[in-house]
Amino acid sequence: MRARRSVRPGRPLAGLLLAAALALTGCSAGGEDSAGSGSAADAAKEAASQADGRGGGAYRGDAGGAKASAPQKLTTGHIIRTASLTVQVDSVPKALDAARADAESAGGYVGNETTTRDEDGRERTRVVLRVPVERYDGVLAGLEGAGKLLERSAKAEDVTDQVVDVESRIKSQRASVARVRALMDQATKLSDVVTLEGELSSRQAELEALLARQASLKDRTTLATITLSLTEKPVRESEREDDPGFLDALAGGWDAFVTMLRWLAVALGAVLPFAAVAALLVLLWLRVVRPRRPGGSAGPDISAGTGGQG
């Protein structure tokens, strides 16, 4: 009886142990196979990406190679472009009209405009143009060719990090506002509602400020700013204050001589009528009035009588 009880329980126990060992062995083998296959796949992907990065020929023709090389292209990002030009033109109004037409035809618009005149009467105009970034280079080249370029400056500021940061903060702030609103829906006490309303107002104000900053960044990165200053050319651009030469002196003397003759002619014309009247009066005196005077014939008669008596 004792022998039976000692031998029979041992066989089932040995069978259970063997089955458990086989099960564990199969699981471990399956895990190793899956791990091996996963590591092999990762190694293959890494090798493929490295080969494509080095320009391997095996991955240039397939779709995988095209997808892997796509992120390597240079992206423009978010860039604020500004430029300032000073151009000397023959006519400021005509050049201003042409600049407006160029900006509007490019899909932009004209901003602030200021017009003044200097001491010499030349017109000066300063105008701000907003044009799409895609047409920025073409419009800038056209404005430079409108006349004589006196000054040019251009600036490009990359604000991609700011754009990404603002977008992330807007997303977080919206989620925060949504959580506060959910808490308000669940609040039952008046004090809790008042506290949550104040918190919601504060977070909404922060969200609106972030949205305004995002709109400003979008406007400045979408439209480039060109500040154009137009000035008229001098009437005689080559005029200089040099010492006068022989020809200048001759021209000045001739002008003075002609001016003198002109004034003499004017004076003679003014005196001539009076001279003619005076000459006529003298002629009348000598021919008519003087011979008829009594004392004119007394002298010869007396002398003749005295001579006869002696």
In a domain, 259, yes or no: no
- pLDDT for residue 6: 43
Selection from 126, 152, 125, 156 nearest residue 141 by Cα: 152
Question: By the 8 A CB rule, do 85 and 149 touch?
Answer: yes
Does the pLDDT value for residue 9 go beyond 80? no
- pLDDT for residue 76: 56
Residues 116, 149 within the same domain: yes
Selection from 226, 189, 228, 187 nearest residue 83 by Cα: 226
For the segment 229-245, what is each residue's pLDDT rounded down to a tens digit?
999 887 654 444 555 66
- pLDDT for residue 63: 39
Residues 188, 156 within the same domain: no
Query: How many domains does the chain contain in total?
Result: 3
For the segment 243-276, what is each residue's pLDDT rounded down to a tens digit?
566 777 778 888 888 888 888 888 888 888 888 8
Alpha helices by DSSP H, listed for 124-189, are 136-144, 160-186
Residues 94, 153 within the same domain: yes
Residues 83, 138 within the same domain: yes
R_g of the chain computed on alpha carbons: 55
In a domain, 170, yes or no: yes
Looking at residue 293, the DSSP 8-state letter turns out to be S
115: tokens are: 């017009």
Residues 140, 172 within the same domain: no
In a domain, 124, yes or no: yes
Residues 121, 145 within the same domain: yes
**Could you tell me whether strands 79-89 and 223-232 are parallel, antiparallel, or unpaired per DSSP bridges?**
parallel
Residues 6+ away with beta carbon under 8 Å from 82 = 154, 155, 157, 224, 225, 226, 227
Residues 132, 204 within the same domain: no
In a domain, 279, yes or no: no
Selection from 134, 152, 142, 141 nearest residue 221 by Cα: 134
For the segment 139-165, what is each residue's pLDDT rounded down to a tens digit?
999 998 888 999 999 999 999 999 999
In a domain, 72, yes or no: no
In a domain, 152, yes or no: yes
**Diameter over CA atoms, the chain:** 236
For the segment 54-76, what is each residue's pLDDT rounded down to a tens digit?
434 333 334 344 444 444 444 45
Residue 302 pLDDT grade (very low, low, confident, very high; cuts 50, 70, 90): very low
In a domain, 21, yes or no: yes
Residues 36, 106 within the same domain: no
Question: By the 8 A CB rule, do 79 and 221 touch?
Answer: yes
Q: In what order do the strands lie in the sheet containing 109-117?
A: 109-117, 123-132, 223-232, 79-89, 148-158
In a domain, 104, yes or no: yes
Residues 120, 189 within the same domain: no
CATH number assigned to the domain comprising residue 146: 3.30.70
Residue 8's domain comprises 2-43
124 conformational bin, left if phi > 0, alpha if psi -120 to 50, beta if neither: beta
Residues 85, 154 within the same domain: yes
Residues 135, 183 within the same domain: no
107: tokens are: 């899909």
Residues 153, 171 within the same domain: no
Question: By the 8 A CB rule, do 181 and 197 touch?
Answer: no
Which of 28-32, 48-52, 109-113 is the most confident on average?
Answer: 109-113
